[in-house]
Chain A
Amino acid sequence: MAPTPPAATQRPAKPGHPGRTIAWAVISLLVVAAFWSAKINWSALSDFPTETGKYLGLLFLPPDWSKLGEALSAMLLSVQMAWIGTLIGIVVSFPLGFLATAGISAGWLAWPLRGLFALIRAVPEVVIAILILSVTGLTPFTGALALGIGSIGTLGKWGYESFEAVDQGPLEAVRSAGGSRLDLMRWGIWPSVQAEVFSFWLYRFEINVRASAILGLIGAGGIGKMLQDNVQFRNWDAVGMLLIVVIVVTIVIDQLSGLLRQRIVHGRWSGNRAARRTGDPGKPEMSEPAGRMAL
């Protein structure tokens, strides 16, 4: 009796992921529940496409360039707020970041500081600004102060994370040579993290430029205030101009800061494009898959 030949090759059943399935089910349920419980007048969206066209026309065809000078000086004030805010954040978070680093400072000091950073990160900058506003009144300077406090949260966290990720060799060398804690920071940690730290300071400045435009909306001056005033009076063409100013200045600052970060991390100005293409300046060019050539 010949054994029956095996059936045509069968694909084994795909393994199930019960946990994943449950997670997806719960998430879907939440989304459905949100749609169901939100009191939203979706019918307002029906004429939205035409409305969008109309408003885009009002905003940008043509923008009102008559107040450009005023807008630029308002944006300048926003950028200055971001600069001062970033500086406040740097000055305060730098020592605190070291104090929150395991191996440098004691646990009873490090953990509360980490909690403080997390707490600050949980509160949006605008809310910090409102708290300050209800205490002292809002000027561009208190706006910068709010940005500064907000910066402490992220800079502190990024700081201790990078301080803890350094190669332990130099640290050990400093310890065995009898260095103090200050020496540990100065010679064991600082040389290795310098570039990274400068890089995230710049990155936080980029974030603060965006946030400072927002603080104006609740009265801290700068471009946000001008925008709010023009939206209230429905000067759409001026609003369009302001949006263009915000977009252009934001992009320019991002690019400049990106260039600087590139220079700091990779030690050269150019090579940006090549680095982006391969993901890493050291790697050879990725080969393009075949099939991209029209045959």
Chain B
Amino acid sequence: MSTALRSETAAAGRPAKPRHAGQAVLVLAVLGLLTAWAAWGVGVDLPKVFANAGNAWGNLVQLGQPDYGFIPKTFPALLETLNMAVIATALGAAVALPLSFLASRATNPNRPLLIAVRTVLNLIRSVPDILYAAVLVAVVGVGALSGIMTLFLFNIGIIAKLVSEALDGEDLGAQEAALAAGASWFKADRAAMLPQIMPTFTSQTLYTFEINIRASAVIGLVGAGGLGVLIDNVRSFFRYHELSLIILEILVMVLVLESLSAWLRKRLV
């Protein structure tokens, strides 16, 4: 009798698990189809890759032996890359700070202006950096200037987005007090919001600088100055010893500067 009771309660015990199997199968099927279609479009051909890898062994060996004698020749390009990153970050940050105030709902009471600024920033951000570089090289010519302009545009997009989002989340009490005391919006934002946002702004600018170091080593591939130009040169002459040295330099530079900037960010904020 007691056993019967127990079995009854056990049967009534756990509610049935909701079933998602049908949904999961459907999603997986769609994803599988998409993948198959993409694989066909891209031309995934594993056997061919392995066949080529055999031919490429010599190149790999060359890549594995960086030519350290080439280091002095890379200094001008290295310096140019660093200069581009520093200048573009400084200018970009300076321009992005007022823009982020215009792009935040918390600090800009003028709706049409807010929407206009946000739209422009979204458009700027949606273009990858090298595409800017490709166009700007054609406009202002080959060299560091087009690189700086590329990174400058790119930075405005990033910094203004991050800082304006931080502004959206800030406490508006002090700003309200300033407005109530008769300050203009500009004054209220400067006195009440700017000090709150400064640590975030500094931190995001440093973060942007890290991204710039990486980007400035690359945009030269389309002629915008820096190490990328050098990469393009050695690549077109198949000098893999030198190519691997440049890549090693980029790696060291990025790791050193990123850890430095991460340390600074920890200290400043």
Stretch from B1-9, B10-18, B95-103, B131-139 contacting the other chain: B131-139
Are A34 and B83 in contact, with the CB atoms below 8 A? yes
Are B176 and A84 in contact, with the CB atoms below 8 A? no
**Complex Cα distance A1/B136, Å?**
79
Q: Which residue of B lies closest to A118 (CB)?
A: B255
Q: Which residue of B lies closest to A81 (CB)?
A: B42
**Complex Cα distance A124/B231, Å?**
13
Are A140 and B42 in contact, with the CB atoms below 8 A? yes
Contact of B115 with A by CB under 8 A = no
Please report whether the interface of chain B is mostly helix, strand, loop or mixed according to DSSP: helix
Q: 13 additional contacts, CB 8 Å, given A127-B218, A136-B49, A279-B168?
A: A38-B84, A51-B139, A77-B42, A122-B250, A122-B255, A135-B53, A135-B59, A135-B60, A140-B43, A144-B42, A213-B131, A243-B135, A247-B126
**Complex Cα distance A142/B264, Å?**
38
Contact of A141 with B by CB under 8 A = yes
Q: Which residue of B lies closest to A211 (CB)?
A: B128
**Complex Cα distance A290/B56, Å?**
69
Stretch from A105-113, A162-170, A185-193, A226-234 contacting the other chain: A226-234
Are A80 and B131 in contact, with the CB atoms below 8 A? no
Number of interface residues of A (CB under 8 A): 73
**Complex Cα distance A143/B257, Å?**
28
Please indicate the chain A residues that have their CB under 8 angstroms from the CB of B60 in the complex: 135
Contact of A123 with B by CB under 8 A = yes
Are B235 and A136 in contact, with the CB atoms below 8 A? no
> Closest Cβ of chain A: how far from B156's Cβ, in Å?
15
Contact of A30 with B by CB under 8 A = yes
Please indicate the chain A residues that have their CB under 8 angstroms from the CB of B180 in the complex: 290-291
Are B128 and A213 in contact, with the CB atoms below 8 A? yes
Are A289 and B175 in contact, with the CB atoms below 8 A? yes
- The A-contacting residues of B in range 153-180, CB under 8 angstroms, are 168-169, 172, 175-176, 179-180
Are B134 and A231 in contact, with the CB atoms below 8 A? yes
Are A130 and B90 in contact, with the CB atoms below 8 A? no
Contact with A along B233-263 (1 / 0, CB 8 A): 0010010100100010011001100100000
Please indicate the chain A residues that have their CB under 8 angstroms from the CB of B169 in the complex: 279
**Complex Cα distance A291/B221, Å?**
52
How many residue pairs link A and B with beta carbons under 8 A? The number is 183
Which range contains the number of B residues in contact with the other chain? 35 or more
Contact of A117 with B by CB under 8 A = no
**Complex Cα distance A292/B60, Å?**
65
- Among B82, B134, B235, B258, which residue has the most Cβ atoms of chain A within 10 A? B134
Contact with B along A53-85 (1 / 0, CB 8 A): 001000100000000000000001101110110
**Complex Cα distance A38/B85, Å?**
11
**Complex Cα distance A187/B121, Å?**
43
**Complex Cα distance A158/B100, Å?**
28
Given A127-B231, A214-B130, residue A231 in contact with residue B135 (CB < 8 A): yes
Given A139-B43, A231-B138, residue A289 in contact with residue B130 (CB < 8 A): no
**Complex Cα distance A235/B81, Å?**
29
Are A83 and B218 in contact, with the CB atoms below 8 A? no
**Complex Cα distance A38/B214, Å?**
18
Question: Pick the contact of B44 from A123, A141, A239, A254 — CB < 8 Å?
Answer: A141
Are A19 and B131 in contact, with the CB atoms below 8 A? no
Contact of B38 with A by CB under 8 A = yes
Given A141-B43, A214-B131, A291-B180, residue A83 in contact with residue B267 (CB < 8 A): no
Question: Pick the contact of A83 from B34, B175, B176, B238 — CB < 8 Å?
Answer: B34
Are A80 and B176 in contact, with the CB atoms below 8 A? no
Contact with A along B27-41 (1 / 0, CB 8 A): 000000011011101
